[in-house]
Structure 1
């Protein structure tokens, strides 16, 4: 497909009007093979209203390209949506709802909902890390404020180290020089983490971890090497977890630097956002945006987002 833009200026120039934005989304979603989003039938026809209709009499539904996507039900013009996608995916640490509201001339509430719809789309992609002698680094981190920075009456007792009383654990799996996936987990026990690892990492992978007991006995399935951080070991030959630890730094700079905090309920969405940016770090801005749009075939309603 022809690349129409490689930067924000070219994107704004390309999206002359709403009709152009709609046509572009149709190209990206249907790739010349329009299909009914209700039943999947490829026999459809255009109506004078600008909508389309399914030719299957059992379905007979009308639709637009927005139906069944993160854009469905939104009154925000597609041009503004495209600009929001560009800003969120190209800015290294993301963009806040307050900043997006100013950039797009929408309310902060609208910008907040738009950003969460986009993060919901990030979770629509899935992949399995490669095996066949590939090195996969495993590590966990804890997201939450530092106890020492809290007011005296808000400090949480016994929250040091790997405690998750006031923090949320996240498990990361990163193929060295390759792709990454990360999951919010209930705790860092072997019972919780190892099924996730087995699901996402192929058995021929060479896994590298620290000495945490949650990784014990993984050598039954994988080739497993580790460094003992507690003993001051951080690199032994090519055995280390520095790559995944670098991603944790990026994730936390995004959450604390741009968003300031993320609740347990929404944390996975913020993690998915950072994972997407990491996995597309080597592609151009326009290509990254089109990859994001390819994930947009899902819908998030407001009452679902706020759990009402």
Structure 2
């Protein structure tokens, strides 16, 4: 008993003519008649009867009708479920992020999401905050990850998803008479050898406190410089506390409590355009971000 035969039974009850059923199903009229007879033969009962040029259901056919409707409805529901899952799994995501979240936070999150949706194609584009905002406004990316800043709430939804801190990194091999935070007191601003991240970021207010000896636009390159010498740098905690893969870390992250007027924490925000019809995979990613979240780096 296949679904097509049950559909024909339902449509005979609706149209009462094999030609109308054939037209509705876009098949030939002899095919409709064949399946009608095949269903009767399969069940061993009479389901259809001709009355004055119209095909009617017999009493047995009428009793079969509600079951046919249930089975066809279940088949449609099953197809819809499979199609939705396929759309989720085979969709595409284009994500834009500024340097910190794009380098240190999103990769691990994207890896987890890709495990759940292995057929989804995910593209991450790391750009300056202004460029990321522009890409989102133009609809060239689905989601943006940006740190604290001024965002237009009229056309953009902004959801905080994590928080992080700015501190100072120094080489683990540096010789200090004290390993306490006092070793990184305000006097280090003037006499220390500092490396500065040259791109726009939430570290900018801290970097303005120093006169850097070196500048570079790569967080990892900056970390390498610090780890191989006696330089210091203001650095996001997530770049060290969350991503240090070596058993023996090359740099040490310490909080900087002396920068007056600076917030202790900053937020990482998820942005997307308001009033946008999200695809299945986009909604799945949004739900994943909300449920899984981006864990705070360290309280």
Same structural fold, with TM-score higher than 0.5 when normalized by the shorter chain:
no
TM-score (norm 1): 0.23
TM-score (norm 2): 0.24
